[in-house]
């Protein structure tokens, strides 16, 4: 029995030392110290020994068990340490490697201009409103007093979304005049910037999609003088304090009287140059006194209230401010262009 125990001690210690993983080590433990293990099997035979031999072998068996347990525990610690070391090595982060450079974008030049304009109007007490780009013909035309045969209603000019011509991509931001008055009533002072769509041929100054800013003021006692004063003030904020303006009679179905506003060419000072196409003046917006029919259609009594409205193109403003020669550049998203601003 002594030889048996010594053999177990030796083979178990050898086997333990060779284990590479915690699972293997557990197998070794079960094989020798488990219920059906080799050491246990030997101990079961203790009963057969003589009374003199029994304590001696018992002592030896205990020594072997203690030795195996200690060896297994220390091997287990060693394996755990090795595993941790391997993991640390695998997960090492080299903090000295240069980081990935993140390209930080910036505002599109046209939105820079839009934000400036919004700021001007907000400082004058205007609210900023947002409206749908998919619009009803009712709002884009009818409630704006556009006659049934108005050329802009033609399918060759406007993008319709339904066969019956009732839904379309708005061709102007003016339907927001109606929506604002219907929703909020009077008095009202608002601007509404956004995209509009027209079937225009694409060239250096035309695109099928562009941006407008609509404006509307309705209150008691609003006159053409308010229109002129407000628009002159805004234009001088945008183009500089000495900018000369010209109000030309024009026609829009939803304003009466109507006008177009020009600024004297900032490039040539009015003499005529390529920027103003030799005119000396550049058209910047359309405006007028809100038509009584439009007010009445929105439930507002034109005998008590009056107002003015205006609409200006945003791209043209941005082109002027940033000296951009071709409208298409604004929409092409070419980084070589955009990163200049």
Interacting residue ranges for ligand PHE, rule: CB under 6 A: 172, 174, 252, 255, 258, 286-288, 309-311
Least gap, CB of 212 to ligand PHE (angstroms) = 6
Minimum CB distance to ligand PHE smaller for 38 or for 283: 283
Considering beta carbons, is residue 16 or 286 the nearer one to ligand PHE? 286
Quote the CA–CA distance of 22 and 37 in Å, as a whole number.
Answer: 18
Nearer to ligand PHE, 160 or 337 (CB): 160
Cα angle for residues 196, 198, 200 (degrees, 5° grid): 135
Q: Please report how close the Cβ of residue 257 comes to ligand PHE at its closest, in angstroms.
A: 11
**Shortest gap between Cβ of 215 and ligand PHE (angstroms)?**
7
Between 239 and 310, whose beta carbon lies closer to ligand PHE? 310
Q: What is the DSSP string of 84-118?
A: HHHHHHHT---TTSPPPPPPP----HHHHHHHHHH
Nearer residue to ligand PHE within complex by CB, 40 or 245: 245
Q: Is the dihedral of CA 121, 126, 130, 132 positive or negative?
A: negative
For ligand PHE, which residue has the nearest CB? 311
Closer residue to ligand PHE in complex, CB, 109/288: 288
Is residue 150 exposed (0-12), middle (13-18) or buried (19+ Cβ within 10 Å)?
middle
- The SS3 assignment for 322 reads helix
Report, in Å, the least distance between residue 308 CB and ligand PHE. 8
Rounded to whole angstroms, the maximal C-alpha distance in the chain is: 131
- Which is closer to ligand PHE, CB of 172 or CB of 207? 172
CA dihedral 162, 167, 172, 173 (to 10 degrees): -150
Distance separating alpha carbons of residues 268 and 236, to the nearest angstrom: 17
d(CA 70, CA 14): 14
Residue closer to ligand PHE by CB (options 72, 318) is 318
| Gap between the Cα atoms of 296 and 59, Å rounded | 113
- SS3 call for 242: coil
Minimum separation from the CB atom of position 148 to ligand PHE (A): 18
d(CA 288, CA 46): 116
Taking the complex as a whole, the smallest distance from the CB of residue 217 to ligand PHE amounts, in Å, to 11
Smallest separation, CB 252 to ligand PHE (Å): 4
Nearest to ligand PHE of 238, 294 (CB atom): 294
Q: How far apart are CA 54 and CA 102, in angstroms?
A: 78
d(CA 338, CA 107) in angstroms, rounded, equals: 9
Shortest distance (Å) from residue 200 CB to ligand PHE: 12
The closest alpha carbon to 109, from 336, 329, 327, 322, belongs to 322
Q: Minimum distance between the CB of residue 204 and ligand PHE, rounded to whole angstroms?
A: 19
């Amino acid at each position: 029995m002594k030889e048996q125990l010594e053999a177990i001690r030796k083979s178990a210690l050898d086997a333990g030392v060779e284990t590479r993983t915690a699972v293997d080590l557990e197998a070794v433990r079960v094989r020798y110290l488990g219920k059906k293990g080799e050491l246990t099997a030997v101990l079961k035979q203790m009963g057969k020994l003589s009374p003199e031999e029994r304590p001696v072998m018992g002592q030896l068996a205990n020594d072997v068990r203690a030795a195996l347990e200690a060896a297994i525990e220390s091997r287990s610690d060693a394996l755990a340490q090795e595993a941790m070391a391997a993991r640390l090595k695998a997960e090492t982060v080299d903090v000295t490697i240069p980081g990935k450079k993140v390209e930080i974008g910036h505002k599109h030049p046209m939105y820079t201009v839009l934000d400036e304009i919004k700021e001007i109007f907000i400082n004058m007490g205007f609210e900023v409103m947002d409206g749908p780009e998919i619009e009803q013909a009712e709002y884009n035309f009818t409630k704006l007093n556009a006659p049934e045969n108005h050329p802009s209603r033609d399918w060759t000019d406007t993008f319709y979304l339904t066969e019956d011509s009732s839904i379309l991509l708005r061709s102007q931001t003016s339907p927001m005049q109606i929506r604002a008055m219907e929703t909020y009533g009077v008095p009202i002072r608002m601007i509404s910037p956004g995209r509009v769509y027209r079937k225009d041929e694409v060239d250096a100054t035309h695109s099928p999609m562009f941006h407008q800013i609509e404006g509307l003021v309705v209150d008691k006692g609003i006159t053409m003088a308010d229109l002129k004063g407000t628009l002159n003030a805004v234009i001088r904020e945008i183009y500089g304090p000495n900018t000369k303006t010209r109000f030309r009679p024009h026609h829009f179905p939803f304003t009466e009287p109507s006008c177009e506003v020009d600024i004297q060419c900032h490039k040539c000072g009015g003499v005529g140059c390529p920027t103003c196409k030799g005119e000396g003046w550049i058209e910047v917006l359309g405006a007028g006194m809100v038509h009584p029919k439009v007010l009445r259609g929105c439930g507002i009594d034109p005998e008590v209230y009056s107002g003015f409205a205006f609409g200006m193109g945003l791209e043209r403003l941005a082109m002027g401010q940033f000296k951009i020669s071709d409208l298409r550049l604004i929409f092409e998203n070419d980084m070589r262009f955009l990163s200049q601003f």
